[in-house]
């Protein structure tokens, strides 16, 4: 796929010090604004578009930070990262989801033998990673969307406070339960994308990949009847199950992000393990239909093209349809984790790619 142009995303000093701009993991457009998140904090950032005379986006700036702990309770408190890996927006709500993954400690540079072996044997659970957050959006006096704690009868709410996280939901699943105790980079469970359509959320798993098949989990979250600040999973379909799994033949790759496009899902794919590529963009036609298949073969998917990646850097992590009125065709904004040095600007920004989808 050809990169049509690049746009700069500029961040404030605190976010640069937290390295949010070099750890971008999720993105979603909202009118003139862009919601983004990094995987090293428990915050969401809002950027506002800068436009040229034709209404095309030339960059995003005027960053505002939203701390999740100011809106919902977090199981590990406000200071621990939430490893936000997906953002979704629909029906006046902004959704944020953590990776729900365990992590194995890395060997530090210069470490050898006993210390290195000890670190590789250490698996850590960080409870803030195991949350799904739903936030009300309201239009402010400036005409821009703002995240609020309450808006009329709508309240910020969270799933994952009391043994009710998505991993708890999957604890008896015949395919996924064996992977819940495995760290993400070892092909364990690792959420890396979410898309909203109607009352459904579609959750993409980077891992596990099962004999070449990637996994997508479909749920129906709603307000808990006993506490408006909590969510619960409603039954999906007629059988009473509170989730549904879909298996996609992505040629051995996992799901790195999801983005709705009408009734279709755009799927950013990449390796489940600690590898650079390949990275592909795939369309799943009709994914949001009620009768969407649970086994989706390669010939039912449309490969739109390959995305660039670097050697240890430029890992495509987030995609969002870029709505530019008057511009023909559909464009996609792609943000990168671990950006290469040439993506970093002197103004405290990082460069994202704009790609035009094939007709």
Closest by CA position to 265, among listed 88, 92, 129: 88
Estimate to the nearest angstrom the gap between the alpha carbon of 55 and the chain centroid: 27
pTM comes to 0.96
Q: What is the dihedral of CA 52, 54, 56, 57, to 10 degrees?
A: 20
Residue 16 pLDDT: 87
Q: Kind of pairing, strands 57-67 and 3-10?
A: parallel
Number of H helices, E strands in the chain: 3, 27
109: Cβ contacts below 8 Å, ≥ 6 apart? none
Supply the pLDDT for residue 19.
86
| Residue 247 Cα distances to 205, 263, 322, 335, 352, angstroms | 10, 18, 28, 26, 30
Closest CA to 264 of 297, 228, 289: 289
C-alpha span between 141 and 219 (Å, rounded): 34
Contact of 199 with 222, CB cutoff 8 Å: yes
Looking at residue 174, the DSSP 8-state letter turns out to be: T
What is d(CA 286, CA 268) in angstroms, rounded to the nearest whole number?
16
Long-range contacts of 281-289 (CB under 8 A, 24+ apart): 281/1, 281/305, 281/306, 281/307, 281/319, 281/332, 281/355, 281/357, 282/248, 282/250, 284/248, 287/202, 287/246, 287/263, 288/197, 288/198, 288/200, 288/202, 288/260, 288/263, 288/264, 289/263
Tokens found for residue 291: 């009768």
pLDDT at 79: 87
At 29 the pLDDT is 96
d(CA 169, CA 100): 12
**Residue 54 tokens, joined:** 């034709």
The answer to whether 158 touches 76, Cβ cutoff 8 Å, is no
Q: Do the beta carbons of residue 221 and residue 132 sit within 8 Å?
A: yes
The domain 3-356 is placed in CATH, from the list 2.115.10, 1.10.3210, 1.10.3470, 2.60.120, at 2.115.10
- Please give the pLDDT value at position 144: 96
Any idea where the domains of the chain sit in the sequence?
3-356
pLDDT tens digit at each of 359 positions of the chain: 889 999 999 999 888 888 888 999 999 999 999 999 998 899 999 999 998 888 888 999 999 999 999 999 999 999 899 999 999 999 999 999 999 999 999 898 888 889 999 999 999 999 999 999 999 999 999 999 999 999 999 999 999 998 999 999 999 999 999 999 999 999 999 999 999 999 999 999 999 999 999 999 999 999 999 999 999 999 998 888 999 999 999 999 999 999 999 999 999 999 998 888 999 999 999 999 888 999 999 999 999 999 999 999 999 999 999 988 767 788 999 999 999 999 999 888 999 999 999 87
pLDDT score, position 53:
83
């Amino acid at each position: 796929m050809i990169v049509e142009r690049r746009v700069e995303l500029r961040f404030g000093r605190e976010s640069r010090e937290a390295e949010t701009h070099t750890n971008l993991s999720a993105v979603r457009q909202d009118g003139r604004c862009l919601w983004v998140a990094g995987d090293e904090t428990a915050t969401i950032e809002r950027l506002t578009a800068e436009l040229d005379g034709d209404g095309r986006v030339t960059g995003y700036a005027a960053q505002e930070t939203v701390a999740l702990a100011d809106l919902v309770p977090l199981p590990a408190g406000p200071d621990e990262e939430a490893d936000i890996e997906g953002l979704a927006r629909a029906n006046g709500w902004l959704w944020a989801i953590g990776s729900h993954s365990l992590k194995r400690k890395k060997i530090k540079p210069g470490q050898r033998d006993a210390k290195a072996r000890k670190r590789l044997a250490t698996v850590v659970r960080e409870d803030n990673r195991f949350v799904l957050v739903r936030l009300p959006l309201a239009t402010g006096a400036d005409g821009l969307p703002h995240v609020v704690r309450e808006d009329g009868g709508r309240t910020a709410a969270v799933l994952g406070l009391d043994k009710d996280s998505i991993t708890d939901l999957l604890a008896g699943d015949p395919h996924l339960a064996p992977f819940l105790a495995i760290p993400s980079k070892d092909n364990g469970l690792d959420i890396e994308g979410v898309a909203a359509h109607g009352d459904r959320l579609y959750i993409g798993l980077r891992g596990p990949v099962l004999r070449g098949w990637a996994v997508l989990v479909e749920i129906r979250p709603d307000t808990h009847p006993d506490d408006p600040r909590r969510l619960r999973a409603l039954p999906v379909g007629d059988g009473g199950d509170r989730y549904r799994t879909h298996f996609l033949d992505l040629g051995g790759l996992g799901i790195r992000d999801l983005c709705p496009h009408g009734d279709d899902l755009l799927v950013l794919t990449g390796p489940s393990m600690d590898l650079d590529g390949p990275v592909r963009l795939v369309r799943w036609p009709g994914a949001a239909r009620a009768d969407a298949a649970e086994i989706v073969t390669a010939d039912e998917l449309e490969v739109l093209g390959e995305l660039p990646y670097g050697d240890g850097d430029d890992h495509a992590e987030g995609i969002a349809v870029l709505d530019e009125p008057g511009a023909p065709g559909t464009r996609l904004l792609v943000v990168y984790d671990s950006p290469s040095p040439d993506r970093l600007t002197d103004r405290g920004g990082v460069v994202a790619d704009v790609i035009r989808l094939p007709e």
